[in-house]
Amino acid sequence: MSYHVPVLLKESVDALDIMPDGIYVDLTFGGGGHSAEILKRLGRKGRLYAFDQDADAIANKPNDQRLTLIHGNFKFMRGFLRYHGVEQVNGILADLGISSHHIDTPERGFSFRFSGALDMRMNSEALVSAKDVINSYTEENLTYILKEYGEVENPRRVANLIVKGRELGYIVTIEELMKALEPVTPRMNGNKFLAKVFQAIRIEVNGELDSLSLMLEQTGKVLQPDGRLVVITYHSLEDRLVKNYMKAGNVEGVTQKDFFGKPTIPFVPITRKPIEVSAEEQEQNPRSRSARLRVVKKI
């Protein structure tokens, strides 16, 4: 089984409008699919800097001198690039989807389809896991993340069941969490409910929205004029941040104005509407169905 099937591969790399001698960044290396396609289009002097916080992904690095693979969170993009002597680049690509490797590896604890420990850390060296969130967060904090990050219906009831469940014993496995949630898990569409709960916990464990916000705010500084920002999102929370940033230059989506009252917008859209996955790709890779591709060019 491959580490990860790259989503919207041709569309996203085409959107970078690659110059053979340019400098590009793949912020979500994963199985290396997008990076491999970028490298195909780069010339001998071209350079690619790729990021991934998961040590498992580092093993996918190809033997290509044009690629520098950085083991780190993309929220530190600008600092890492400066460390390597790079101030500005010609294009940045980020595929924000969780990799198939994470979902399909039971011991990583990302999926309710498997038995295993509650983990969900994208960086296996991180201190806080899903088990810690479930067993140490207050009912109020659990309610907040279930509502804000999972858009779970009746989040207070769900949080209350988790708290009651852990009072009977430490909740350390996926099965134990699902057992605690049985009273509110619908008989129909139960998987949809559980997916929302797991998404909320995963986002909290990995600080995904904060990391995304920090990364986006750096792209305007790192991109050269005419440089492309290409982002693939998979759920409404991250898509809202990306859409706001591309529209206004900040994740709040508030248009700034100069001294004369003229809007200061750092990007022009390349895609007026997000590019969606074709029916053919969805059939080949069902996990790609919610993907949305947005592209802008720096002014």
In order of 117, 132, 180, 266, the CA distances from 231 in angstroms are 31, 31, 37, 16
Question: Please, which pLDDT band fits residue 56 given cuts at 50, 70 and 90?
Answer: confident
Q: Yes or no: say if 148 and 210 are a contact pair by the CB < 8 Å rule.
A: no
Closest alpha carbon to 149 in 161, 137, 166: 137
Residue 65 above 90 pLDDT? yes
The pLDDT score that the predictor gives to residue 102 is: 72
Residue 100 above 80 pLDDT? no
Residue 295 above 50 pLDDT? yes
Domains and CATH numbers, the chain: 9-95+208-298 (3.40.50.150), 106-206 (1.10.150.170)
pLDDT tens column, 180-231? 999 999 999 899 999 999 999 999 999 999 999 999 999 999 999 999 999 9
- What is the Cα–Cα distance from 238 to 95, expressed in whole angstroms? 11
pLDDT tens column, 222-242? 999 999 999 999 999 999 999
Mean pLDDT of the chain: 95
- What is the Cα–Cα distance from 245 to 29, expressed in whole angstroms? 22
Written in H, E and C, the secondary structure of 186-218 is: CCCCHHHHHHHHHHHHHHHHHCHHHHHHHHHHH
**Sign of the CA dihedral 74, 80, 86, 87?**
positive
Q: What is the chain's percent helix, strand, coil content, to nearest 5? A: 45, 15, 40
Question: Please, which pLDDT band fits residue 275 given cuts at 50, 70 and 90?
Answer: very high
Question: Please, which pLDDT band fits residue 1 given cuts at 50, 70 and 90?
Answer: very low
Which one-letter DSSP state was computed for residue 183? G
Q: Where are the alpha helices (DSSP H) in 121-252?
A: 130-136, 139-150, 155-167, 174-180, 190-206, 208-222, 236-248
Which one-letter DSSP state was computed for residue 22? -
Tokens 């790709």 locate to 281
What percent of the chain has a predicted confidence (pLDDT) above 90? Answer: 86
Identify the bridge partners of residue 51 per DSSP, sorted by sequence position: 70
Residue 116 above 50 pLDDT? yes
Cα distance between the two ends of the chain: 42
